[in-house]
């Protein structure tokens, strides 16, 4: 099939996402779920949490917004800049050079060799 452009992802219906993603990927990226720890780049580091952690995102492909879904635990949610898929959260306890820890669900990643 032909490659899908970034603008196409922004207009996918819920049913189209369900047909393209596994149940786990849909739960995490479209329903803001979190996978279990230990299930799955050069900015990656071992945060000791069990989730893939990075000190910076890839280019300008993500955005963040305040997540108040857990009472008394405000945090910054990390979303795809194109389709608003939930990727994980970013915290201010990461290593240099950024001091950030992008805690990302591995089911929301598609890793490619360079």
Burial class for 99, CB neighbours closer than 10 Å (0-12, 13-18, 19+)? exposed
Marked catalytic residue, from 79, 90, 103, 104: 103
In the annotation, is 80 catalytic? no
65 neighbors 80 (Cβ within 8 angstroms): no
CA 71 to chain centre: 22
Q: Please give the positions annotated as active site.
A: 103
């Amino acid at each position: 099939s032909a490659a899908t452009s970034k603008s196409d992802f922004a207009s996918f219906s819920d049913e189209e996402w369900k047909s393209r993603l596994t149940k786990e990927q849909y739960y995490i990226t479209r329903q803001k779920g979190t996978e279990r720890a230990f299930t799955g780049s050069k900015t990656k580091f071992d945060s000791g949490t069990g989730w893939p952690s990075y000190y910076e995102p890839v280019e300008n492909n993500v955005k963040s917004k305040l997540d108040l879904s857990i009472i008394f635990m405000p945090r910054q949610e990390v979303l795809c800049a194109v389709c608003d898929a939930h990727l994980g959260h970013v915290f201010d306890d990461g290593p240099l050079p950024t001091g950030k820890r992008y805690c990302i669900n591995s089911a929301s990643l598609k890793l490619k060799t360079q």
